[in-house]
Amino acid sequence: MCGICCSVSFSVEHFSKDLKEDLLYNLKRRGPNSSKQLLKSNEYYQCLFSGHVLHLRGFLTAQPLEDERGNVFLWNGEVFSGIKVEAKENDTQIMFNYLSSCKNESDILSLFSEVQGPWSFIYYQASNHHLWFGRDFFGRRSLLWHFGNLGKSFCLSSVGAQTPEVANPWQEVPASGIFRIDLKPTSISKSVVLKLYPWKYISKENVTNECVNSLTQISANLPTFVSVIVNEAKLYLKKTVVPLNMMLPQASFNTHCSNISSVPPTRETLEGFLADGNMREIVQQFIDVLSIAVKRRVLCLPRDENPTPSEDSQTCNRKANVAILFSGGIDSMVIATLVDRHIPLDEPIDLLNVAFMTKEKIIPTSFNEKKRKQKNCEIPYEESSKNVAAAAVASSDKQFSVPDRITGRAGLKELQAASPFRTWNFVEINVSLEELQKFRRARICHLVQPLDTVLDDSIGCAVWFASRGIGQLVTQDEVQSYQSNAKVVLTGIGADEQLAGYSRHRVRFQTHGLEGLNKEIEMELCRISSRNLGRDDRVIGDHGKEARFPYLDENVVSFLNSLPIWEKANLTLPRGIGEKLILRLAALELGLTTSALLPKRAMQFGSRIAKMEKNNEKASDKCGRLQVISLENLSIEKEITT
């Protein structure tokens, strides 16, 4: 994870040796291990490059990188496959080595077509004054652009900052391909032309499949002096994900499913599906490809070789290197089970479970208030302390007993039973209304922007508090404050989009059948970059942590895309079985039972953030709480977030 930025000025009066303070501060929060700036200027333009690194892989490599020809590279990504990167190598340096050897634009496109993993990048070619930039096909890493007035400047950055220019706010760079700006002509004409190299999939039958926003869509909110064109050579990036299988069953789907809509969501029902040898084989293939995706995301991390012995035992105080956004639902339970397969057994795993305070506050009375009033009745200090702690836990339980907390604790027990020698840190993260409003105003509203709906507010806030990892570990004997310092945060996003997990999928199926459901799922993957991933990357990255998405691994998506819809989901079945059917069957094969039958519950409802303030809002409404208000003082913001 890195914070990368390039600020370009085309007029001398805009030249600057420093970024604005608030933008620099936001970038540094993403990359706490190294910060560096590099200035490149000539008579036509100035480029100020700023790189801020979260060190996760190989040797710490400061950014930006520059070669002997003056080319400059900024990389916010992870190469998990496609290009060979050894365990102790740094992928930023490997990518730059390849780029420096590229002889033409086709070579550059071939390189990025091979990379599997999340990325955004900025690459300056000094000899021809080209600036390349873009995001991976799913948009798993954030990149924003901001265009100054009259084409005199523009900026690319992982995260934005407050801008007084209401007319030209920060916007997400579309994950439609790679863009190129020719800086020298732009400095002369003062009109910005963005050349697009789009993603395409070419099948063996030479059929082209594109999932790209139209040029009209990309240009819709850009200033009038900015235009987008497809590159003259009609070159493109090759998608590493196969298109969605749109096949429909020959018989009607109800007949195909043997009219089992009334089947209850039970373990026996799932076992009935697994009794089919073909289905069991498909489920095992899914487990294998997902397991590899998880393995790639948890292994190559800096680990403590010599942990210190704890004072009260002969065990070692190892820290957790991996955390999971954890609700106890099927998505996070499967990820947790697979993480357990691949990291050392003596390494804890942090399960981050967030809950927002319910409106009915219950004020606890002391367990022993009556006893204290009695004469000559003294309570030993230790017993009194235990009673107070128990009262605090009981009170907290009532105020934060939201659905995700209940299923999270049940999921914890299931994981402990499956892997009893693992330390599972179930981190209860409790958020009051006051804390929510304070940190939304100070941090979260700036990170969620340019997204601005009620849904973005709910999910952005929930993910920010969860990934911050400040909470408590509750045992039978005590409540212990805890902060997760794991740099890698795994999230289950992508499962619902691919496996018909949302209620809108069921509505679409009921109204338009399997054909309509296929189209809905196809649309989900095409828009996931703009709806979810850039926002989640900015929110999680604000804590100096990296979001990783196993369900959106290229091989996982290709495998699921290759299957016909009825092998992934069966919406003739009730909730808790029909949606994400293949994932439920995988959970059962992995030894999970209770969580395999839990119905889908959206994070904003499971954590109860959607019930904290206004209850009469629609998810698609613009959220006034996210409107960026001028900060009273940057120093105040820093004070309350450190």
Q: What is the pLDDT of residues 342-370, one digit of tens each?
A: 999 999 999 999 999 977 544 444 434 44
Judged against a pLDDT cut of 90, whether residue 193 lies above it is answered with: yes
Please tell me the pTM assigned to this model.
Answer: 0.90
Q: pLDDT value at position 188?
A: 87
Cα 635 to Cα 642: distance, rounded to the nearest angstrom? 11
For the stretch 400-459, pLDDT in tens is 889 999 999 999 999 999 999 999 999 999 999 999 999 999 999 999 999 989 999 999
Give the per-residue pLDDT at 164: 53
The proportion of the chain whose per-residue pLDDT surpasses 90, expressed as a percent, equals 66
Q: Most confidently modeled of 220-229, 413-422, 633-642?
A: 413-422
Average of pLDDT values for 112-117?
96
What residues are paired with 321 via a beta bridge? none
**Residue range 50-54: mean pLDDT, rounded:** 96
Within 10 angstroms of residue 18's Cβ, the number of other Cβ atoms is 12
Please tell me the distance from the alpha carbon of residue 19 to that of residue 36, in angstroms, as a whole number.
12
Residue that has been written with the tokens 């099927």 in this structure: 330
| Catalytic-role residue among 2, 6, 155, 623 | 2
pLDDT tens-digit profile of 318-329? 899 999 999 999
Measured CA distances, 501 to 420, 494, 504, 520, 583 (Å): 30, 10, 8, 11, 10
Predicted confidence (pLDDT) at residue 313 exceeds the cutoff of 50: no
Task: Give the range among 26-30, 136-140, 611-615 with minimum mean pLDDT.
Answer: 611-615
Residues 570, 255: Cα–Cα separation, whole Å: 12
Task: Give the position of tokens 């956004």.
Answer: 325
Backbone angles phi, psi at 282, to 5 degrees: -65, -45
Averaged pLDDT score across all residues of the chain: 86
Q: Evaluate if residue 373 carries a pLDDT over 70.
A: no
Give the tens place of pLDDT for each residue, 572-625: 999 899 999 999 999 999 999 999 998 888 788 778 887 777 777 888 888 888
How far CA 68 is from CA of 38, 97, 101, 523, in Å, comes to: 14, 12, 12, 44
Q: Is 445 a catalytic residue?
A: no
What proportions of the chain, in percent to the nearest 5, are helix, strand and coil?
A: 40, 20, 40
- In the chain the domains, ranked by start, together with CATH numbers, are 2-238 (3.60.20.10), 266-305+323-358+400-641 (3.40.50.620)
pLDDT band for position 394 (50/70/90)? Answer: low
pLDDT band at 384 (very low <50, low <70, confident <90, very high): very low
Q: Say what the pLDDT of residue 381 is.
A: 36
Give the pLDDT score at 377: 40
| Residue with the larger pLDDT of the pair 149 and 566 | 566
The reported pLDDT for the residue numbered 314 is 40
Which of 150, 144, 156 shows the shortest CA–CA distance to 224? 150
Compute the distance between CA of residue 223 and CA of residue 289 in angstroms, rounded to an integer. Answer: 44
- Give me the mean pLDDT over the 480-497 stretch: 96
Per the model's pLDDT, the better-predicted residue between 118 and 218 turns out to be 118
Token pair, residue 484, equals 């997760």
